[in-house]
Structure 1
Amino acid sequence: MRALPRALPRLLAATVLSVALVGCGEDASEQPSGSGSDSPSASDPATTDASEDASATAEYPRYVAIGDSYTSAPLVPETDPQDGCLRSSGNYPSLVAAALEGTQLEDVSCAGADTTSLIGVQRTFDGLSRPPQLQAVTEDTSLVTVSIGGNDFGLFSTFVGGCAQVASTDPEGSPCTDVASEDGPEVLAKIEERISSVVQGVRGRAPEARILVVGYPQIVPQGDRACPALPIADGDLAFARTMNRGLAEALEEGARKGGAEYVDAYALSEGHHVCSDDPWIAGKETVEGQALAFHPFAAHQEAVAQEILRLLER
C-alpha cells in the first residue's frame, strides 16, 4: 500500500526517463538486437532462404512486442517455467504473428517490466537479467506493439493487490483510498508522458514501423460491491475503478501524443472483469495452467490478438 506514495519522489525522474527514451532512437541502433528465439539459424541456408522469401512478401516482415506481464501472459498455455519473463506461446504477440504470413516475431515482453525496462537492464523474478526491450527494435522493424506502464510507480500493485490486502482492516470503509487517492492523478499523468516518450523512442529506431499501443483491460467491476475474487473494501471500489480506467486512458492519450495507434483493451473487455461470469482476468488466486493471480486468461489474449489483426487490416 505504500508503493504509490513512496514512489512520488521518483516522479521528478520521469522527465529524465522521457528524454532518455526519445534519445534511444538516435544512438541505440548500434546496439545488438534481442536474441529472438523465432529468428532462423544463420547456419541453415535452406531455412534462411525460405524465411527471407516469406518475409519479402509479408506486409509486416519483422514484428517486435514490447510489454509487461499483461503481454507475456504468465501461465497461459504454454508458458515455459524456466523463462524468467514467464512468456507464453499463447500470448497475443504469438497469436498475431502466427496469423500474419511471413511475419517473424521478436517478443521481448517480460513479467515485472515497466517503462525503465525499455532502456535499462531488467532483473527477472529468477534473478537473471534481460537486455533493454527497446534494443530489439531495429531499423527494419515493420510492426511494434507496446503495452507497458502499469508497473510504473507501483500503480498496478497498489490499486489491485494493495487495495485487496488492506480491505480486511476496514471492509466497509475506504482504507486504500484514504492512503493513495491523492497521488493517483499525478502518477497517471507521468505514465501518460512516459508512454508518449516510449512511442517516440520506438519511432526513432524504426521510422517506418506501424506502432500500436495496447491498453489494459477492465479489472474492477461497476457497482458498489466487489466479490471474493477481488476482495476490495466497498469504499475503495470507486477509487480502484478510477485508477483502472485512468491507466487505460493514460496509455490512450500517450499513444495519441506519440503518434501511435491505440488498441482499447478496456472497452474490449467490458463485461469480463474479475467479478463477471466470464472473467478474462484471474482473481486473487492463481489458476494453475491458466493464469497468474490478477493476470489475463487466454481469452483476453485471444481477444486482443483479434482486435490487433482487425486494425492491421485497415
Structure 2
Amino acid sequence: MLTTPRRRFAGSRTLTTSLALAASVALAGSPLASAQSTTQADGAIAVSSLGSSIDAPGSVTGPLGSLASPAYAEYVALGDSYAAFGNQTDPVVTDGPAARCGRSLTNYPNELDRNPAVVELTDVTCGGAIIPSLTGFQYDGVPAQLDALDADTDLITLSIGGNDVGFGEIVNCITKQDDYATVPSCREELDGEISAAIDSVFGAGTEGDVPVATKVDTIYALIEEKAPDATVVATQYLPLMPAEGEDCAFTERLVPDDVKWAREVTAKINAAVDAAVDAAAVRNGHVSVLPVDASVDRSACGDADERWTDFLGGAPTGAYPMHPTALGQQAMADAIAAAI
C-alpha cells in the first residue's frame, strides 16, 4: 500500500523526548480531538450527556454552576491522571504510597468539592491508572480504587480508558523521528490495534456471535453493586488538538494525516465513553460529561489564558504535558456540577 510522503521537522528530538516522557507517565487518555457537541456562541459550556447535548446555563461558567446545597454527602473520585493531575506548581498528596499517583489538591474532584453541596470527598484518582487499577493494586500500598466505595457513596466521578486503549502509542507515533517517507502512517500502523482496543474496553464485545461484557461494563456493574444509590458521572477527555483548519505552531510541525487520524481516534474514544455510560444509564441513571466552548479555542493551540489543555506543559499554564490546565480542571468541575 502506498503511503503519503512524510517530512521530518526541525527540533523533533526535543519534541519527541518531551512527549515520550509524557506518555511514560501515562497521560490519562487520548484527548486528541475537538468534541462534537452543540455549544453556545456566548461561551456557556454545553454538557454532553448520554449521547445528547445539553446547553448548560450561563452560571456554569462560574464556580461550580448552580448545585443546590446540600446535595451529596459522600463523593468518591475515581480514575486516571486526567482526573488526578493539577498544575505542576499546585500542592499534591505527598504522604505514603499515594504520593506516586500525582494526586493534586486542585484537580477537578477537589474543585467540585469546594462547593458546599458536596460534603466529603474521597479522592483515589491516580496517574497512570488503567481499568485493572480500579479493582486491583496499581502500586504497592495503593488499594484498588473501587475499595473506596460503599453503600453510603452518593456521587462518583470516573475518568478511565485512555491508557487502556493506547494513548502513549498514539503520542509516540505522531511525534516519531523516523524517515517519514519510508515508514507507515500512524493510521496504517495503529488504527486496527487502537480500534480493537476501544471495542474491547468500551464497545459491544463479542465472542463469536455471543455478546460479552466489555471491561467498562464490568466496572459499572461493580460500581452499582458497591454503591447502588450513587450518581455516576463519567468524564470524557478534554481536547488537545484544535478543530480542523485551526492549527498552531505545534501541530503544523506534525504530519497532517496523523493529526487528522488522532482527532478521529479521540472522537471514537469519547463516543465510546458516552455510549458505555448510556448503557449503564438504563440501569442506574449515569451521565457522561464533556465541557465545550464554541466562543474561543480551548484546545492546546488556544491562547495560554484560554486553553483547557497544554501540549508541552510548564510555563505559562503550569500544566503537565498533554494534560488539562487549571482552567480545564475548573471547566470539568463546572460541567459536572451542571450535569448533576
TM-score over 0.5 for the pair: yes
Q: What residue in structure 1 maps to residue 71 of structure 2?
A: 59
Letter in 1 for 2:172: G
2:309/2:325 contact within 8 Å kept: yes
Offset at residue 285 of structure 1 (A): 4.5
| Among 275, 286, 290, the residue aligned to 1:253 | 275
2:88/2:314 contact within 8 Å kept: no
What whole-Å deviation, never above 9, does each CA across 1:44-71 have from its counterpart, x for those lacking one?
A: xxxxxxxxxxxxx842100000010000
Offset at residue 268 of structure 1 (A): 5.2
Offset at residue 81 of structure 1 (A): 7.2
| Among 221, 245, 270, the residue aligned to 1:200 | 221
Q: What residue in structure 1 maps to residue 121 of structure 2?
A: 105
Inter-partner Cα distance in structure 2 for 1:274 and 1:172: 30
Inter-partner Cα distance in structure 1 for 2:244 and 2:184: 15
**Higher relative contact order, chain-length normalized (CA < 8 Å, sep 6+):** 2
Overall identity of the aligned pairs, in % = 25
Question: Gapped runs of 5+ residues in structure 1?
Answer: 4-56
- For the pair 1:300 / 2:328, whether they are aligned, the reply is yes
Letter in 1 for 2:133: S
Normalization by structure 1: what TM-score?
A: 0.72
- For the pair 1:95 / 2:117, whether they are aligned, the reply is no
Inter-partner Cα distance in structure 1 for 2:221 and 2:150: 14
- For the pair 1:69 / 2:77, whether they are aligned, the reply is no
Query: Cα–Cα, structure 1 residues 234 and 129, in superposed 2: closer, same or farther, change >3 Å?
Result: farther
Structure with the larger strand share: 2
Offset at residue 79 of structure 1 (A): 3.0
2:86/2:105 contact within 8 Å kept: no
Inter-partner Cα distance in structure 2 for 1:114 and 1:64: 17
| Among 74, 84, 91, the residue aligned to 1:79 | 91
Offset at residue 90 of structure 1 (A): 1.0
Query: Cα–Cα, structure 1 residues 285 and 59, in superposed 2: closer, same or farther, change >3 Å?
Result: closer
1:77/1:89 contact within 8 Å kept: no
Letter in 2 for 1:271: D
| Among 153, 158, 177, the residue aligned to 2:169 | 158
1:166/1:175 contact within 8 Å kept: no
More divergent stretch after superposition (256-265 vs 201-210): 256-265
Q: What residue in structure 1 maps to residue 130 of structure 2?
A: 114
SS in 1 for 2:310: coil
Task: Report the count of equivalent residues.
Answer: 251
SS in 2 for 1:144: strand
Query: Cα–Cα, structure 1 residues 297 and 183, in superposed 2: closer, same or farther, change >3 Å?
Result: same
Q: What residue in structure 1 maps to residue 239 of structure 2?
A: 218
Q: What residue in structure 2 maps to residue 134 of structure 1?
A: 146
Normalization by structure 2: what TM-score?
A: 0.67
1:74/1:88 contact within 8 Å kept: yes
Inter-partner Cα distance in structure 2 for 1:76 and 1:300: 14
CA RMSD, Structure 1 to Structure 2 (Å): 2.8
Q: What residue in structure 1 maps to residue 300 of structure 2?
A: 274
Letter in 2 for 1:170: Y
Offset at residue 194 of structure 1 (A): 2.5
What whole-Å deviation, never above 9, does each CA across 1:110-147 have from its counterpart, x for those lacking one?
A: 00001110011002xxxx54110011011110100111
Offset at residue 224 of structure 1 (A): 5.8
Query: Cα–Cα, structure 1 residues 303 and 171, in superposed 2: closer, same or farther, change >3 Å?
Result: farther
Q: What residue in structure 2 maps to residue 184 of structure 1?
A: 194
Q: What residue in structure 1 maps to residue 261 of structure 2?
A: 239
